Amino acid sequence: MGIRLLGERRATGGMTLQPSASVGWRFSERWSLRYRNAVSLFNLKTPRWIGVIDMNAALLGIHLRDLTLEVGPSLDVFAVPLCADTWCQREHGLAPGVHLGAMLSPPESRLGARCTVHTTYIPGIAWSGISISAAVEGVYRF
């Protein structure tokens, strides 16, 4: 579950569907690297204005007992509705981003919870600006 905001001109409103998957490597007791891919689908109630942002992040994590904090850069692919003052259009392209996350998972359990915030700069014609995504996820570790 998540929420996505595209600046002040067009609020996406409602819930955002955001499936994600990741693969990681814990290379020491405290540090890890992880690749995360998440696809944010929003405006699902209005098919004409459905938006998609495919987020690809390379994350560095620090492990503090039951808590893992992660940060890293992202390169996102977007196809979203963007609006100017008097008109809207669908735009697509590549966008740089930054990802922050925190995961709580007890060592004796495969289940955990993750909170993430993802910020993307979308360079559009009708509108350019920052897109912010926040999500709460359930986690199962293999």
Q: Which amino acid is at 80?
A: V
**Per-residue confidence (pLDDT) for residue 80, from 0 to 100:** 87
Fold of 2-140: Porin (2.40.160)
* Spans of all domains in the chain: 2-140
User: Mind listing the pLDDT tens digit of every residue in the chain (142 residues)?
Assistant: 455 555 544 555 556 788 889 999 999 999 999 999 999 888 887 777 888 999 999 999 999 989 999 999 999 999 988 877 788 888 899 999 999 999 998 878 889 999 999 999 998 888 888 888 888 888 888 8
pLDDT at 13 (0 to 100): 52
pLDDT, residue 89, reads 86
Task: Give me the DSSP letters along 55-101.
Answer: EEEEEEEEEETTEEEEEEEEEEEEEEEEE-SS-EEEEEEEEEEEEEE
pLDDT at 9: 47
Angle 35-36-37 from CA coordinates, rounded to 5°: 130
Say what the pLDDT of residue 3 is: 56
- What per-residue confidence (pLDDT) applies to 112? 93
Contacts for 70 with CB less than 8 Å, ≥ 6 apart: 34, 59, 60, 61, 62, 99, 100, 101, 102, 103
